[in-house]
């Protein structure tokens, strides 16, 4: 086997929360009269909540915002976002994702999550993957957001497997950069794959079962 472990990003790889993130940020931005569109939204993939807010505020033209106000805006977005997450269920875990995870595990690979999201435990519970992964490294245990490699390096440490033996799976360019900065190879999906950011740029997550064989 070419790898001992696979570290998965969550949003946009294991489940499709992108639209929920977009709608919640859009409502917050509209309320503040800040222009916000899907192009700006693409820059938020993999980026922490507070760093995402700073990117959105690049287009803000009003009086300076205090740290308290910024925290309140981020909270407003997160409250709206969590309302959408509450509607999620195991039906939101696609067959191809679950079958691929099970196939990789049956091949003897250790499986981990490496996500910037502080909502990771809640999302995993909603989609029925609570307790499924051998390690969960998320926004609650890091100090630096992707493209910093911290979240993936922590996942490898939790697994007790050297970074070079871990494959990262990502849909964000910032996430692919984070994997590479951690000395890992990266298989990309979605936006990151379209940008050619990965060592492999996949059309389907099912391709992983061949990639890990080398």
Binding site for Mg ion (CB under 5 A): 9, 11-12, 171-172
> Restricting to residues 101-130, which ones interact with ligand BG6 according to CB under 6 A?
115-119
Tell me the closest approach of the beta carbon of residue 128 to ligand BG6, in angstroms. Answer: 19
Cβ of residue 159: shortest distance to ligand BG6, in angstroms?
20
The residue (of 106 and 187) whose beta carbon lies closer to Mg ion is 187
If binding is defined by CB under 6 A, does position 147 make contact with ligand BG6?
no
Supply the DSSP string of 14-49, one letter for each residue. Answer: TB--HHHHHHHHHHHHHHHT----HHHHHTTTT--H
Instruction: Give the largest CA-CA distance in the chain.
Output: 56
Q: Which is nearer to Mg ion, 32 or 92 (CB)?
A: 92
The interface with ligand BG6 within residues 21-40 (CB under 6 A) comprises 21
Burial of 174-196, coded b for 16+ CB within 10 Å and e otherwise, reads bbbbbbbebebbbbbbbbbbeee
Q: CA Rg, the chain, in Å? A: 17
Query: Quick one: which of 207, 9, 26, 199 has its CA closest to 114?
Result: 9
Neighbours of 108 (CB within 10 A): 9
Q: Phi and psi for 48 in degrees, rounded to 5?
A: -60, 165
> How far apart are CB 42 and Mg ion at their closest, in Å?
11
**165 an active-site residue?**
no
21: partner contacted, choices ligand BG6, Mg ion, none (Cβ within 5-8 A by kind): ligand BG6
> Is 191 a catalytic site residue?
no
- Report in angstroms how near the CB of residue 140 gets to ligand BG6 at its nearest: 8
Single residue of 3, 4, 8, 11 touching ligand BG6 by CB under 6 A: 11
| Residue 137 binds to ligand BG6 (criterion: CB under 6 A) | no
Q: Give the nearest distance from C-beta 63 to ligand BG6 in angstroms.
A: 25
Sheet harboring 166-170: ordered strands across?
Answer: 135-137, 110-114, 5-8, 166-170, 185-188, 200-201
d(CA 11, CA 24): 15
Comparing CB distances to ligand BG6, the nearer of 138 and 156 is 138
Catalytic residue list:
9, 11
Per CB under 6 A, residues contacting ligand BG6 are: 10-11, 21, 44-49, 52, 78, 115-119, 139, 172
């Amino acid at each position: 086997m070419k790898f001992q472990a696979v570290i998965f990003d969550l949003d946009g790889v294991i489940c499709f929360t992108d639209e929920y993130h977009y709608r919640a940020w859009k409502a917050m931005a509209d309320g503040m009269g800040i222009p916000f569109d899907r192009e700006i939204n693409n820059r938020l993939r993999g980026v922490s909540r507070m760093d995402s807010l700073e990117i959105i505020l690049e287009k803000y033209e009003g009086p300076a915002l205090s740290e308290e106000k910024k925290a309140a805006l981020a909270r407003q977005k997160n409250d709206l976002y969590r309302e959408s997450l509450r509607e999620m269920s195991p039906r939101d875990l696609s067959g191809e994702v679950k079958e691929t995870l099970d196939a990789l595990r049956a091949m003897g690979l250790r499986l981990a999550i490496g996500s910037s999201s502080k909502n990771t435990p809640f999302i995993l519970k909603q989609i029925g993957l609570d307790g499924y992964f051998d390690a969960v490294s998320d926004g609650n245990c890091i100090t630096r957001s992707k493209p910093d490699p911290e979240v993936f390096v922590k996942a490898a440490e939790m697994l007790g497997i050297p970074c070079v033996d871990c494959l990262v799976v990502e849909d964000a360019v910032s996430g692919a950069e984070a994997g590479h900065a951690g000395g890992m190879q990266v298989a990309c999906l979605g936006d990151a794959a379209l940008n050619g950011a990965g060592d492999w740029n996949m059309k389907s997550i099912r391709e992983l079962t061949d990639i890990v064989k080398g």
